[in-house]
Structure 1
Amino acid sequence: MSILQKIADIEAEMAKTQKNKATNYHLGLLKAKLSKLKAQLIEGGTKGGGEGEGFDVSKTGDARIGLVGFPSVGKSTLLNKLTGTFSEVASYEFTTLTCVPGIFKYKGAKMQLLDLPGIIEGAKDGKGRGKQVIAVAKSCSLILIVLDVLKPLTFKKIIEKELEGFGIRLNKKPPNIIFQKKDKGGINITHTVPLNNIDEDMIKSICHEYRIMNANISIRCEATVDDIIDVIEGNRLYVPCIYVLNKVDQITLEELEIVTRLPHNVPISAHLEWNLDGLLEAIWNYLDLVRIYTKPKGQIPDYESPVILKKERSKVENFCKKIHRSLVNQLKYALVWGKSVKHNPQKVGKDHELNDEDVVQLVKGQDNSADIQHSGGRSSLEGPRFEGKPIPNPLLGLDSTRTGHHHHHH
């Protein structure tokens, strides 16, 4: 019996099992079985036959955004409007087969926009390009689900179910569960929160289903069966997601009012280019990026091309690595102007967390440049302004080539 057949059987059995206290246990085990089969489907299975064609999209840019949606919801139009990559697309179903990346810049960040075709149709059967699409989807830092505003909820449910089935979790935080396998001692469960949705026997039988006989599991959240399975499988992707409601020019204001109650939604009309700026702003907020301006010594900061970092990885060290791998080892300290420091500029080390729009000047070890304090009192020139506060001018007192060598002659 093929994996697909087994999956279909389990799904059928789950559909006809009534949800209640008595069947909870049975359903939990079916979920675990289903998860295992789906994992096999994505990992194992058919090799060869047009592998990789159109999907070796190397990751360029600062963020990669995946576009998902049924054919004919206006994905291609949206892609073209945002990135100017013009692909000839007639408005008939199933048009995009290879992955066309488009690039657009916003607030100095280079965004790569990928249409992920075929996730919906045929990916779950392991047919077609399902596996590659999933691999690409898992490298995205944000997913845009494009919905036709005339039938948003039907589409939304189907797409979410597909993505969930591939281990992609939308707008969710990873469950606060720590799971460690060990050699002996059986399965040991501790929890700081009462377990209302699941009991210890259930957790143990899920572990056994995965042939895990010895493990420590520490649960610090209201865990569900799905959470336990996710933690055991371990290869889940937690990714932010925006529901793009397209074609809003075709509905009334009253209808718009109802549809936009959907959480995480942005209404647009790609075709009329309505509210695309709102969409870009939302993309920026969901990606949680930080712009850092570099300041070469004795020069004005480069405001044109910021170094873009993810908010959770925005230390000086990450900034150095993004410029060049070896920089961090040469770093003596960094001078920072901006919201992340009390004094402008302030000397910081590699563990300092940078904020959006900080200005950074790196001082390397072998480069014993004059310290910034030389500018004593001469800051009549004002530096870059942040939030209306003038900042001491980074250009003053920095020209160490002169200050460094002159005292030899005195």
Structure 2
Amino acid sequence: MGILDKISEIEKEITRTQKNKATEYHLGVLKAKLAKYRAQLIEPSGKKEKGEGFDVMKSGDARVALIGFPSVGKSTLLNTLTDTHSESASYEFTTLTCIPGVIQYEGANIQLLDLPGIIEGASQGKGRGRQVIAVARTADLVLMMLDATKGEIQRKLLEKELETVGIRLNKCKPNIYFKEKKAGGIAFNSTCLLTKCDEKLVQMILHEYKIFNAEVLFREDCSPDEFIDVIARNRVYLPCLYAFNKIDQVSIEEVDRLARQPFTVVVSCNMKLNLDCLLEYLWEYLALIRIYTKKRGQSPDFEDGIILRRGSTIEHVCHSIHRSIVSVFKYALVWGTSTKYSPQRVGLQHVVNHEDVIQIVKK
């Protein structure tokens, strides 16, 4: 029996099994087996697959993977937002490889990857699904392009395909401490009341993974699926923005309903509607900020800002200018919303905000 057959059998058994207190341990073990087989499915085989790969060098300040079903408008969006040309037509699978483009917005260079359309079963290798999903794992954000005329069926199918290969969209990493040991058995503890998982279920899941010595600490009430994610160690947690295209072909009531959903923006690539809002959302979801530098006695350089991630410190600013600055750093003067007064004298660990002005003083 092949891996796909084993996965299918386990999925059927999970569907057949009633969910109650008596079956929770059995379901937990089944989910652990399913995760193991899926991990084997997405691991690269020894032989390289024939055909052109999607090796695209990461460049710019952030990378966005544009995924969706065929003919939803991915190539049209790339052509509209960037200077790159990607062939677009009314038939499916116009794009057969990964085409990169660069969005220039607020002084940042955002790399946008137009990927071939995903079909149902992509996680099992159908179409060019595995290559598309492999690129999506390297992105900073997933931009999921959907057809507004087809409702939310596409969204659920794509989420399922990405979930299957360990990509978690708009989710936080489970707050569970897990460490394998060489001896001592399984030491289990928790700092909160657990309602979805208990010590026996944790031990059964670990035994399924052939782990008999480990430390486990639940810092929040997590489910068995989240604990399996922690053990697997190959999960990717990415922000995702859902873009419903072709809003010019549906009613205004439907547009309003779609626009009110979380993590969602509605656009029309052909008529260039609401694309400015899409760019604002991309900036926000990528958590980008722009800071400016100034020399002593001179005005700030507002023409050439430095693009960083939200939560960056003065140390990150120094590294982005030149690696050697940290070794001769004395202090920095900061003007902006990150300070109590302007200018404020700060050290390397000071967190900067959007549009702060920074002057670095050397020893």
CA distance in 1, matches of 2:321, 2:338: 20
SS in 1 for 2:41: helix
Give the distance between the partners of 2:137 and 2:104, measured in 1 at CA.
22
Name the stretch that deviates more: 62-71 or 184-193: 184-193
Q: Distance in 1 between matches of 2:181 and 2:211?
A: 9
Indicate whether 1:41 and 2:41 are aligned: yes
Q: Distance in 1 between matches of 2:226 and 2:200?
A: 15
Question: Cα offset for 1:127?
Answer: 5.6
| Whole-Å separation in 2 of the counterparts to 1:86 and 1:134 | 22
The correspondence of residues 14-53 of structure 1 with structure 2, limited to 5 A, is 14-45=14-45, 47-50=47-50, 53=52
Deviates more, 1:77-86 or 1:154-163: 77-86
Match of 1:332 in 2: 330
State the aligned residue count: 363
Q: Distance in 1 between matches of 2:209 and 2:144?
A: 32
Query: 2:5 maps to what in 1?
Result: 5
What secondary structure does 1:266 align onto? strand
Q: 1:58, 1:275 → 2: CA distance? A: 30
What's the counterpart of residue 124 of structure 1? 123
Are the aligned partners of 2:70 and 2:92 in contact in 1 as well (CA < 8 Å)? Answer: yes
For structure 2, list consecutive stretches of 5 or more residues without a partner in the other structure. none
CA contact under 8 A between 1:146 and 1:246: conserved in structure 2? yes
Give the letter for the 2:340 counterpart.
Answer: K
Q: How far apart, in 2, do the equivalents of 1:55 and 1:278 lie?
A: 29
Return the offset for 1:118. 5.0
Show the counterpart of 1:320: 318
Q: 1:119 to 1:189 in 2, by over 3 A?
A: farther
Counterpart amino acid of 1:331? F
Q: Normalising by structure 1, what TM-score?
A: 0.84
For 2:285, the equivalent position in structure 1 comes to 286
Stretch deviating more after TM superposition (16-25 or 115-124) = 115-124
CA distance in 2, matches of 1:303, 1:319: 16
> What does the per-residue CA deviation read over 1:307-327, in whole Å, with 9 as the maximum and x for residues that have no partner?
111113x10111111222222
Name which of 346, 349, 357 aligns with 1:348: 346
Shift of 1:252: 1.1
Equivalence for 1:395: none
Deviations 1:62-106 (A, max 9, x none): 111111110111111111111132222212112212111110111
| Structure 1 position 131, deviation (Å) | 4.1
> How do residues 99-178 of structure 1 correspond to structure 2 at under 5 angstroms?
99-117=98-116, 119-120=118-119, 123-126=122-125, 129-178=128-177
Identity %: 57
Q: Distance in 2 between matches of 1:308 and 1:285?
A: 13
- Judging changes above 3 Å, is the alpha-carbon distance between structure 1 residues 27 and 119 closer, same or farther for their aligned structure 2 residues? farther
Change (3 A) 1:118 1:207: farther
Cα pair 2:120 2:161 within 8 Å, conserved: no
Tell me if structure 1 keeps the 8 A contact 2:70–2:118: no
Report the alpha carbon displacement of residue 258 of structure 1 after superposing the two structures with TM.
2.5
Letter of the structure 1 residue corresponding to residue 45 of structure 2: G
Letter in 1 for 2:69: F
Report matched runs for 1:4-403 at 5 Å: 4-45=4-45, 47-50=47-50, 53-117=52-116, 119-120=118-119, 123-126=122-125, 129-312=128-311, 314-365=312-363
Bigger Cα displacement from structure 2, 330-339 vs 200-209: 330-339
The one-letter code sitting in structure 2 at the alignment partner of 1:56 is: D
- SS where residue 150 of structure 1 aligns? helix
Paired letter, 1:350 = L
Equivalent pair of 1:120/1:162 in contact (CA under 8 Å): no
Cα deviation 1:222-242 (Å, max 9, x = unaligned): 210111001111222111111
Q: Per-residue CA shift, 1:10-60, capped at 9, x if unaligned?
A: 223223333333332222211111111111122242532346x35221111
* Residue pair 1:180, 1:215 contacting (<8 A) in 2 also: yes
Which whole-Å deviations, capped at 9, do the CAs of 1:353-380 have from their partners, x for residues lacking one?
A: 1111011122222xxxxxxxxxxxxxxx
Q: Which has the larger radius of gyration?
A: 1
Q: Is the 8 A contact 2:69 2:118 kept in 1?
A: no
Secondary structure of the structure 1 residue equivalent to 2:28: helix
- Note closer, same or farther for the CA distance 1:349–1:33 as it changes in structure 2 (3 Å cut): same
Counterpart code for 1:342? K
**Structure 1 unmatched ranges of 5 or more:** 366-410
Equivalent residue of 1:285, what SS?
Answer: helix
- In the alignment, the residues of structure 1 paired with residue 111 and residue 202 of structure 2 have an alpha-carbon distance, to the nearest angstrom, of 40
Give the Cα–Cα distance (whole angstroms) in 2 for the partners of residues 118 and 40 of structure 1: 24
- Partner of 1:343, secondary structure, is coil
Give the Å deviation of 1:148: 0.7
Q: What is the deviation of 1:162?
A: 0.9
The answer to whether the Cα contact below 8 Å between 1:294 and 1:359 also exists between their aligned partners in 2 is yes
